[in-house]
A and B are shown apart, each in its own frame.
Chain A
Amino acid sequence: MIRISNVSYAIAGTTILEDIDLAIPSGGVTALIGPNGAGKSTLLSLIARLLPLSSGTITLDGLPVDRTPTRALALRLAVMAQEGSVASRLRVEELVGFGRFPHHRGRPRAQDQAAVAEALALFDLEALADRFVDTLSGGQRQRARVAMAYCQGTDYLLLDEPLNSLDIIYARALMRTLRRIADDRGRTIVVVLHDLNHAAAHADRIVALREGRLVADGPTGEVMTTATLQRVFGDTIPVAEVDGHRIALHFV
Chain B
Amino acid sequence: MRRLLPAPAILGTALLLAALAAASLVIGVGDLFARDGTSGVSGLMLLLASRLPRTLAAILTGAALAIAGTVMQTLAKNRFVDPMTAGTGSSAALGILLVTLLAPGAPIALKALAGSAVAFLGTLLFLRFARDLPPTEPFLVPLFGIVYGGVVGAIAAAIAWEADLVQFLDVWMNGEFSGVIRGRYELLFVTALLGAVAFWAADRLTILSLGRATAVGLGLDHAAMLRLGLVIVALIAGVTVVTVGIIPFVGLVVPALIGRRVGDDVRRALPLTALLGAGLVLGSDILGRLLRYPYEVPVGTVLGVVGAAAFLAIVLRRARLG
Contact = CB atoms under 8 A, between A and B. Distances in A.
Nearest to B2: A108
B217 A74 contact: yes
B170 interface: no
A106 B202 contact: yes
15 contacts: A50-B212, A70-B220, A81-B214, A87-B77, A87-B135, A87-B210, A88-B206, A88-B210, A89-B260, A90-B206, A90-B263, A91-B265, A97-B2, A98-B218, A102-B219
Interface string A76-105: 001111001111111101100111011001
B203 interface: yes
Nearest to A80: B217
B265 A90 contact: yes
Interface in A82-134: 84-91, 93-94, 97-99, 101-102, 105-106, 108, 113, 132
Nearest to B259: A89
Contacts of A97: 2
B78 A87 contact: yes
A85 B209 CA distance: 11
B209 to A, nearest CB: 5
B6 interface: no
Interface in A39-96: 45, 48-50, 70-75, 78-81, 84-91, 93-94
Given A79-B213, A106-B203, A101 B265 contact: no
B32 to A, nearest CB: 44
B54 interface: no
A48 B217 contact: yes
A45 B3 CA distance: 32
Contact of A90 (B213, B219, B260, B264): B264
Contact of B263 (A71, A89, A99): A89
Contacts of A84: 210-211, 213-214
A152 interface: yes
Given A80-B217, A81-B213, 18 more contacts: A45-B213, A49-B216, A50-B217, A70-B220, A74-B217, A74-B218, A84-B211, A86-B210, A87-B78, A88-B210, A88-B263, A90-B264, A94-B3, A98-B214, A98-B218, A101-B218, A105-B203, A152-B217
A75 B214 contact: no
Nearest to A101: B218
A102 B210 contact: no
B1 interface: yes
B221 interface: yes
A106 B3 CA distance: 13
B216 A50 contact: yes
Contacts of B202: 106
B219 A70 contact: yes
A132 B209 CA distance: 15
A79 B214 CA distance: 8
B160 interface: no
A94 to B, nearest CB: 5
A99 B78 contact: no
A113 B3 contact: no
Interface in B293-318: none
A152 B218 contact: yes
A84 B213 CA distance: 9
A152 B216 CA distance: 13
A108 B1 CA distance: 10
Contact of B1 (A89, A102, A113): A113
